[in-house]
A and B are shown apart, each in its own frame.
Chain A
Amino acid sequence: MYAAPFEYHRASSVQEAVGLLQRYGDDAKLLAGGHSLLPVLKLRLSTIGHLIDIRRIEGLSGIREAGGEIVIGAATSHAALQHSQLLQQKLPILAEAAAQIGDPAVRNLGTIGGSLAHADPAADLPAVILALGSELRVEGPDGSRTIAADDCFTGLFSTALRPGEILTEIRVPVPTARTGTAYEKHAHPASGFAVVGIAAVLTAGTGNTIAQARIAVTGVGTAATRAGKAETMLMGQTPTPDLLQLAASKVPDGIAARGDLYAPPEFRAQLARVHAERALLRAWQRMR
């Protein structure tokens, strides 16, 4: 496998990367872990003139807590997420989901920013980021701005990032006490991608009620999305296994399920229901 020729640039700062993106425009792509981009180039499914390597930009990797938020650099590897003690304490769902991406070698290089910006419909992290109510910091020629995760995933391999912008940080609010989270996935036996992935975040209110429910789905439609109908059913309610099952059954509603050889649309919807129920049950257990 030999890619078509391109020029490799290693950016030492975000500003330099933004400048390179401006200079080369459509003929440039950012390279972080490379695990989505390089196979495409090797198979010559796409050609590109310039690759801008942002993996080693100082400050673009790392996980820290600041002002009630967990701040994750876009070039942070999946392995770093998986093994982060901070995440295991504060955002276990993110570590749990990262541990299910690809395989150990892929996780060592693949990055959270790359995964979110690539927006593969079967990627794991978009669902988790959505369920956690995160924000994405991006930097472009006109400075930086923030995109709410809810506004980020606009379609098949497309996001709200504008041409020339670089995703720099993911900011996740630290969940309040009595929040339970869970990620449930049905992995494709060959690719390991999510045929269906469900991220559930339940926050308890007074008594045993659910004050807030956020459920996000990946793998089913063309982009990761929230399951609004199911969330609404849970809000303010006192959960029971039956209620969670009922809500889970609504998770595929409103999502045009994709179909392929491995999972036709109706089966994807069924997997979404089953995994949503599991995710909700686990999140509920952790919430209590």
Chain B
Amino acid sequence: MAEVTIAVNGVSSSHSIQDRMLLVHYLRDVLRLTGTHVGCDTSQCGACTVLLDGVAVKSCTVLAAQADGSHVATIEGMGTPAALHALQQAFREEHGLQCGFCTPGVVMAAADMLRRNPSPTEEQVRSELGGNLCRCTGYHNIVKAILRAAEQMRSEQQSPARAVPMAAAAR
């Protein structure tokens, strides 16, 4: 068993877990944060994408024990129904989601993308989405949503790091 202390969305807690437990199972089964999903076995689909110490990772390919002492940001920490994050709002405006299963991972990956590049081109957005599979949208509206959010975030002069508090806290 491993003792881990992980700050998730700004709330730190400690648990005794099996060494083999994946971060995604820690989030889902221990913390009951079920917005982070599992869609594949091989790190392709990206439904499990979260921010680990401020950068996007696939939480199905990280042990919870590896994240001991780290900060994790999940979709639940992005915004609330009453106050959606600019990315969440843009996905709604542009119809960037259908079934919603891949969506949390796509939003977290987009947060990481815009942190590194606040003004991406359409081509860069498409390329940077390489780790997130969506079977519903054909990506057309996901790309539009991310471009819209980027514009919105720039116009608000809201840095993506501020938009994702954990990203800032981790540095």
Contacts from A to B (Cβ < 8 Å): 1-8, 10, 31, 34-35, 38-39, 41-43, 51, 53, 55, 79, 83, 102-106, 108-109, 190-192
Which residues on B sit within 8 Å (CB–CB) of A190?
Answer: 44
Determine if B66 is an interface residue (Cβ-Cβ < 8 Å): yes
Q: A35-B61, A104-B56, A108-B55 are in contact. Are A43 and B131 (CB under 8 A)?
A: no
Question: 1/0 per residue B14-45: CB within 8 Å of A?
Answer: 00001110100100000000000010011110
Alpha-carbon separation in the docked complex, A156 to B63 (Å): 27
CB distance from B139 to the nearest CB of A (A): 14
Alpha-carbon separation in the docked complex, A39 to B42 (Å): 6
Instruction: Kindly name the residue among B60, B66, B109 whose own CB sees the greatest number of chain A CB atoms within 10 A.
Output: B66
Question: Contact at A5–B19, with CB atoms within 8 Å?
Answer: yes
Alpha-carbon separation in the docked complex, A38 to B66 (Å): 12
Determine if B86 is an interface residue (Cβ-Cβ < 8 Å): no
CB distance from B55 to the nearest CB of A (A): 4
Q: Which chain B residues in 111-140 approach chain A with CB under 8 Å? A: 112-113, 116, 128, 130-132
CB distance from A24 to the nearest CB of B (A): 14
Question: Contact at A103–B66, with CB atoms within 8 Å?
Answer: no
Q: A79-B55, A192-B130 are in contact. Are A103 and B46 (CB under 8 A)?
A: yes
What residue in chain B is nearest A7 (Cβ atoms)? B19
Determine if B103 is an interface residue (Cβ-Cβ < 8 Å): no
CB distance from A114 to the nearest CB of B (A): 12
Q: A106-B131, A108-B57, A192-B130 are in contact. Are A34 and B20 (CB under 8 A)?
A: no
What residue in chain A is nearest B132 (Cβ atoms)? A103
Q: A3-B20, A8-B2, A35-B43 are in contact. Are A104 and B128 (CB under 8 A)?
A: yes
Alpha-carbon separation in the docked complex, A192 to B132 (Å): 13
Question: Contact at B131–A8, with CB atoms within 8 Å?
Answer: no
Q: A8-B2, A8-B19, A104-B112 are in contact. Are A1 and B41 (CB under 8 A)?
A: yes
Determine if B62 is an interface residue (Cβ-Cβ < 8 Å): yes
Alpha-carbon separation in the docked complex, A48 to B43 (Å): 20
Alpha-carbon separation in the docked complex, A106 to B109 (Å): 11
| List of 6 A-B pairs having minimum Cβ-Cβ separation, nearest first | A103-B131, A103-B130, A8-B19, A8-B65, A108-B55, A105-B56
Alpha-carbon separation in the docked complex, A109 to B116 (Å): 16
CB distance from A141 to the nearest CB of B (A): 25
CB distance from B35 to the nearest CB of A (A): 17
CB distance from B70 to the nearest CB of A (A): 10
Alpha-carbon separation in the docked complex, A79 to B49 (Å): 16
Question: Contact at B19–A104, with CB atoms within 8 Å?
Answer: no
What residue in chain A is nearest B19 (Cβ atoms)? A8
Alpha-carbon separation in the docked complex, A234 to B74 (Å): 53
What residue in chain B is nearest A103 (Cβ atoms)? B131
Alpha-carbon separation in the docked complex, A112 to B144 (Å): 34
Determine if B71 is an interface residue (Cβ-Cβ < 8 Å): no
Alpha-carbon separation in the docked complex, A43 to B109 (Å): 25
What residue in chain A is nearest B49 (Cβ atoms)? A105
CB distance from B2 to the nearest CB of A (A): 6
Q: A35-B43, A42-B41, A55-B66 are in contact. Are A106 and B20 (CB under 8 A)?
A: no
Determine if B151 is an interface residue (Cβ-Cβ < 8 Å): no
A-B contacts, 25 of them at CB < 8 A, read A1-B38, A1-B41, A2-B25, A7-B19, A10-B66, A31-B66, A34-B61, A34-B63, A38-B22, A38-B61, A39-B41, A39-B42, A41-B20, A42-B22, A43-B41, A51-B63, A53-B65, A79-B55, A105-B46, A105-B57, A105-B109, A106-B58, A106-B61, A108-B55, A109-B61
CB distance from A53 to the nearest CB of B (A): 6
Question: Contact at B57–A109, with CB atoms within 8 Å?
Answer: yes
Alpha-carbon separation in the docked complex, A3 to B61 (Å): 11
Determine if B94 is an interface residue (Cβ-Cβ < 8 Å): no
What residue in chain A is nearest B69 (Cβ atoms)? A56
Alpha-carbon separation in the docked complex, A108 to B56 (Å): 7
Question: Contact at A1–B60, with CB atoms within 8 Å?
Answer: yes
